[in-house]
């Protein structure tokens, strides 16, 4: 199976000018290369400030990469090709409460990407929104509601609906499951897995919760201070971590897994 998304030597650095207008360059991401296939999930873990979110933002096109190339289906994504990119690579954010515009109904919210990216007329767009809402486990009639009328889990489903409505190929989940309650979180995981099966989506999952990563992802990428320190199949890396950073991350989580039997 061909690679869906291929990233070659992608790097990101910020320039800063000090008082004397001297340039200083702050590297955030060292050159990174990886690839994802359809139906697969890549998990990215790392501590704060390791560049996980920057990587996500560069991939989705919210920030420009300093160097390197991104290929989608073997085709190079140019810097200005936002139209193509926002159709095929979509992102879900952590806090669903603040990413939905409170003054728009769900219909208007979901209509926006369709208006900008598709030639459909109004009737077809409404129909598409109805089926998409049903796909994520909501009712079609929910489209006339405002975001504040939904609970946190339902809002996250609407974010997911907004992500899949353009039939994308890659979805980036930036801590999208962290703010949900446990019972809603497992509902969401089931839904994401179902959609992956049906639509052949590739996910890039950024998360702290190693339990979810173990369950959900196929490959793993460990970042530390902007550079990749370990990659591989999730289960193999978790069983036998090589790098210090990975070991530390795993140890901290193992602390919390199961109650110790007390005598």
Partner 1 sequence: MNLLDIRNLSIELVNEKQNILAVDKVSLSMKEGEVRGLVGESGSGKSLLAQAIVGVLDEKWHVHADRFHWRGIDLLRLSIEERKALLSRDIAMIFQEPMACLDPTNTVGEQIAEAIDTNSLSGFFWQKQKQRHEGAIKLLHKVGIKKHSACLNSYPHQLTEALCQRVMIAIALARRPILLIADEPTAAMENTNQSQIFRLLASLNQLKNMSILLISHDLENITHWTNTITVMYSGQFVEAGTTEQIFNKPLHPYTRALVDSSPSANFHLPAKSRLMTLPGSIPILQHLPIGCRLGPRCPRAQQDCVKAPSVTNFHGHKVSCHFPLTPIKSPRKWLKGVC
Residues of this chain that interact with partner 1 (CB under 8 A) are 47-48, 151-154, 178, 181-187, 189-190, 193, 208-212, 214-216, 218, 234-235, 248-249, 252-253, 255-262
> Can you tell me whether residue 41 is helix, strand or coil?
strand
Closest CB 65 distance from partner 1, rounded Å: 26
Largest CA distance in the chain: 69
Please tell me the distance from the alpha carbon of residue 229 to that of residue 46, in angstroms, as a whole number: 10
Closest CB 98 distance from partner 1, rounded Å: 14
Return the number of the residue (111 or 219) whose C-beta is nearest partner 1. Answer: 219
Return the number of the residue (9 or 235) whose C-beta is nearest partner 1. Answer: 235
Closest CB 212 distance from partner 1, rounded Å: 6
Closest CB 120 distance from partner 1, rounded Å: 31
Return the number of the residue (169 or 207) whose C-beta is nearest partner 1. Answer: 207
Please tell me the distance from the alpha carbon of residue 226 to that of residue 98, in angstroms, as a whole number: 28
Return the number of the residue (125 or 243) whose C-beta is nearest partner 1. Answer: 243
Contacts of 77 (CB under 8 A, 6+ apart): 69, 70, 71, 84, 85
The partner residues of 4 in beta bridges, in order of sequence, read none
Closest CB 214 distance from partner 1, rounded Å: 7
Which helix or strand (DSSP H or E) is residue 236 part of?
Answer: helix 234-239
> For the chain, what is the radius of gyration of the CA atoms?
20
Range 95-101, long-range pairs (CB < 8 A, 24+ positions): 95/179, 96/152, 96/155, 96/156, 96/158, 96/159, 96/176, 96/179, 97/147, 97/152, 97/155, 99/159, 100/147, 100/155, 100/158, 100/159, 101/147
Length of the chain: 263
Closest CB 149 distance from partner 1, rounded Å: 10
Return the number of the residue (129 or 245) whose C-beta is nearest partner 1. Answer: 245
Return the number of the residue (128 or 210) whose C-beta is nearest partner 1. Answer: 210
Return the number of the residue (116 or 251) whose C-beta is nearest partner 1. Answer: 251
């Amino acid at each position: 199976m061909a690679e869906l998304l291929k990233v070659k030597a992608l790097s990101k650095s910020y320039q800063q000018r000090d008082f004397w207008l001297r340039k200083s360059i702050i590297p955030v991401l060292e050159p990174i290369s990886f690839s994802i296939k359809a139906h697969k999930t890549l998990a990215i873990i790392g501590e704060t400030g390791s560049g996980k979110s920057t990587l996500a933002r560069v991939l989705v096109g919210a920030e420009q990469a300093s160097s390197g190339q991104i290929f989608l289906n073997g085709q190079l994504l140019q810097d200005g090709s936002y139209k193509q990119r926002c159709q095929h690579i979509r992102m879900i954010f952590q806090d669903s409460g603040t990413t939905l515009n409170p003054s728009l109904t769900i219909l208007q919210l979901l209509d926006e990407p369709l208006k900008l990216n598709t030639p459909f007329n109004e009737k077809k767009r409404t129909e598409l929104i109805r089926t998409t809402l049903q796909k994520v486990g909501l009712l079609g009639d929910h489209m006339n509601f405002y975001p504040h009328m939904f609970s946190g889990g339902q809002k996250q489903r609407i974010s997911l609906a907004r992500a899949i409505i353009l039939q994308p190929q890659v979805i980036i989940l930036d801590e999208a499951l962290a703010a949900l309650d446990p019972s809603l979180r497992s509902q969401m995981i089931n839904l994401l897995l179902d959609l992956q099966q049906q639509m052949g989506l590739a996910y890039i999952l950024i998360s702290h919760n190693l339990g979810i990563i173990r369950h959900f992802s196929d490959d793993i990428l460990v970042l530390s201070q902007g550079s990749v320190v370990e990659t591989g199949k999730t289960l193999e890396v978790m069983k036998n971590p090589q790098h210090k950073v990975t070991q530390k991350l795993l140890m901290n989580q193992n602390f919390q897994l199961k109650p110790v039997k007390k005598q």
